[in-house]
Amino acid sequence: MADKIFRVNMSDQSCLVEEVPAEWLGLGGRGLTSTIVATEVEPTCHALGVHNKLIFAPGLLSGTPAANSGRLSCGAKSPLTGTIKEANSGGTSSQMLAKLGVKALIIEGKPEDGKWYGLRVSALGVTIYEEKELIGKGNFAVVEAVEKRLGGGIGVITIGPAGEMRMSAANISVKDPDGKLRSCGRGGLGAVMGSKGIKYIAVEPTDNKVAIARPEQFKEANRAFAKSLIDNPISKALGQYGTNVLVNIINEAGALPTRNFTGGQFEGHEKISGETMHDTILERGGKPQHNCHPGCVIKCSQIYNDAGKQYKTSGFEYESIWALGADCCVANLDDIAEADHLLDDLGLDTIETSVAFGVAMEAGVLNFGDGTGVCRILREEIGAGTPLGRIIGNGAGSVGRAFGITRVPVVKNQAIPAYDPRAIKGIGVTYATSTMGADHTMGYTIATNILGVGGSLDPLSKEGQVELSRNLQIATAAIDSTGMCLFVAFAALDDPNCLPALVDMINARFDINLTAGDVTNLGMKILKTERAFNIAAGFTNKDDRLPEFFSEEPLPPHNVVWDIDGKTIDSFWNF
């Protein structure tokens, strides 16, 4: 059974199942979502209007037994940044959609009646139901209710109240193997789903298997690939302490943005570190290792229980812990876990919202360190859609504009994540040049600047950072098209067997003969497609800049400023 394009029009609640155009056949994940957005969406359209489209696409290897291949890409024009946007997530839906033969699910139009709907995807197409019961409900309740209606094996893609209220920090959540949540976090895609009147998308389980053209070659390649991942030392650290292993590392590097980006070290870092988290999880009978989708061999997720040994949150990530912790000066993992849980339930990007809280603290809305206040505002203001809730739920830039603050860490209106660009200059190039606003996952130079993966490059020097970011952004665009978790990059950068095995799997799946060079070309093509969309939307190289305070306020302890000039940044696009 050949894959199809499932196209839903919410203006009249219709669905078509279409053949895949020839030029999209070799694409998946981000490569496909970005190509469809660039082809079908008017770049200057209102992101919450009838002309934007929301696209879900499994990766090229999603649904196969390939290790770590269960990422789901979601793309649209972003209401937060105004740029093209792709965000991807674990969970079970990517593999399920792939097995149903869904090459991409394109959602267009907008209901004029103001009603809410639920979608149900089967191999035959998409059925659309009016939804009333779940409107206003949090993501956990949606998953529970949809499972109750349609069975525990159902896949669920959902938005919380934040997405319903079309907040620019709203994410799209995807049910994980334990019925908990993973998120397509960044860029406000949940608001786009909300603007289309869709509360959730249910994905039917199936016994179908994804066809593999050369099964033996695939099996062998997958074995080598999985071994490469398992043996990698970074994979091991991620499996032990989760992504939160980074708190102590980045603090030590003096690059842990603290107190709304006024310092690079947080005195409470030990209290929120991966090591502390690991011990706390063990003490309370949580799970220090957990996979966000079937087939993951790294298992960087975990289950964090509260003091009463009850489940509190899972997928308790470094970025969330940094943002609520160091950036907001909350030195208490339980407060952070509570906020993380609330953010997941409301359906908000933890980075965007927490950085927004940091700016709100600078504005005097609440005090730095007030974790209880954060949770109160999440529940009573954002959850209720009050004016303050909307200001914060629309992200860091929104808070800065509302209160007239000038120290606002955003690029293209998207919050800068957990690595200060003054002290790790490579990641600053990524923030500046990313086609999607500030986003560490677009080109994770921390690997080479800090972790010594793929070589090493002094984080405080200007030299070589553009090349580093460029190479990683190209590779990332390709990896994001395969359905692979980005954490395969550590093995791919350091183990010569890893990338060939990945390419072999793609070749075996589709009976083709790509080379590593083809993969690089794919990455370059994706970046250029995304860049062209942004230019057509009105972006220029003036948007590829960090906020001026990074150039003017030295960051302790290194007392460094951002000093890569515009011309050098612009050379990023010389490829």
Q: Which residues bind a copy of itself (CB under 8 A)?
A: 43-46, 48-49, 51, 79, 165-168, 191, 194-195, 386-388, 390-391, 394, 398, 401-404, 406, 536-540, 542-543, 545, 547-548
Residue number, 49 or 151, with CB nearest to a copy of itself = 49
- 3-state SS of 364-395 is CCCCCCCHHHHHHHHHHHHCCCCHHHHHHHCC
* Residue 405 or 460 having the CB closest to a copy of itself: 405
Provide the terminal-to-terminal Cα distance of the chain, rounded to the nearest Å: 38
How far out from the chain centre does Cα 196 lie? Answer: 21
Nearer to a copy of itself, 80 or 508 (CB): 80
CA-to-CA distance for 170 and 190, rounded, in angstroms?
5
> To the nearest whole angstrom, how small is the minimum distance from the Cβ of residue 387 to a copy of itself?
4
Angstrom distance (rounded) from CA 524 to CA 535: 16
**Cβ 404 to a copy of itself, closest distance in Å?**
3
Q: Which residues pair with 108 in a beta bridge?
A: 9
Query: Rounded to whole angstroms, what are the CA distances from 469 to 108, 138, 487?
Result: 34, 37, 16
Angstrom distances, CA of residue 44 to CA of 48, 191, 261, 358, 397 = 12, 17, 32, 31, 20
Compare residues 233 and 538 and give the one whose CB is closer to a copy of itself.
538
Instruction: In angstroms, give the least distance from the CB of 435 to a copy of itself.
Output: 16
Smallest distance from the beta carbon of 554 to a copy of itself, in angstroms?
A: 15
Closer to a copy of itself by CB, 139 or 168: give it.
Answer: 168
Q: Least distance (Å) from a copy of itself to the CB of residue 21? A: 27
Nearer to a copy of itself, 271 or 401 (CB): 401
* Shortest spacing between CB 318 and a copy of itself, in angstroms: 29
**Which lies closer to a copy of itself via its Cβ, residue 300 or residue 436?**
436
Q: Give the full edge-to-edge strand order of the sheet including 125-130.
A: 125-130, 117-122, 198-203, 155-158, 172-175, 181-184
Q: How far is the CB of 550 from a copy of itself (least distance, A)?
A: 12
Between CA 141 and CA 160 the distance in angstroms is: 9
The Cα 397–Cα 193 span in angstroms is 21
For residue 365, the minimal CB distance to a copy of itself (Å) is 8
In angstroms, give the least distance from the CB of 261 to a copy of itself: 14
- Name the token pair of 285: 């009978």
198-203 vs 117-122, strand pairing mode:
parallel
**Nearest distance, CB of residue 25 and a copy of itself, angstroms:** 32
HSE toward the beta carbon, residue 259, CA cutoff 13 A: 11
> Which is nearer to a copy of itself, 372 or 386 (by Cβ)?
386
- State the helix-helix crossing angle for 498-510 and 215-231, rounded to 10 degrees: 150
- To a copy of itself, the closest distance from the beta carbon of 403 in angstroms equals 7
CB atoms within 10 A of CB 136: 15
Could you tell me where the DSSP H helices lie in 176-214? 189-195
Neighbours of 478 (CB within 10 A): 27
Residues 6 or more apart whose Cβ sits within 8 Å of residue 415: 351, 352, 355, 356, 395, 396, 397, 409, 438
Residue 464: CB atoms within 10 Å: 16
- The C-alpha atoms of residue 391 and residue 213 are separated, in whole angstroms, by 51
Rounded to the nearest whole angstrom, what is the least distance from the CB of residue 389 to a copy of itself in the complex? 8
Q: Which is nearer to a copy of itself, 152 or 364 (CB)?
A: 364
Residue 372, C-beta contacts closer than 8 angstroms, at least 6 positions apart: 335
As measured in angstroms, the least distance from the Cβ of 383 to a copy of itself is 15
Structure tokens, 551: 């150039």
**Residue 154 vs 191, nearer CB to a copy of itself:** 191
When the beta carbons of 68 and 413 are compared against a copy of itself, the nearer one is 413
**Helix (H/G/I), strand (E/B), else coil: 151:** coil
- Which residue, 361 or 450, is less far from a copy of itself as judged by CB? 361
Compare residues 134 and 165 and give the one whose CB is closer to a copy of itself: 165
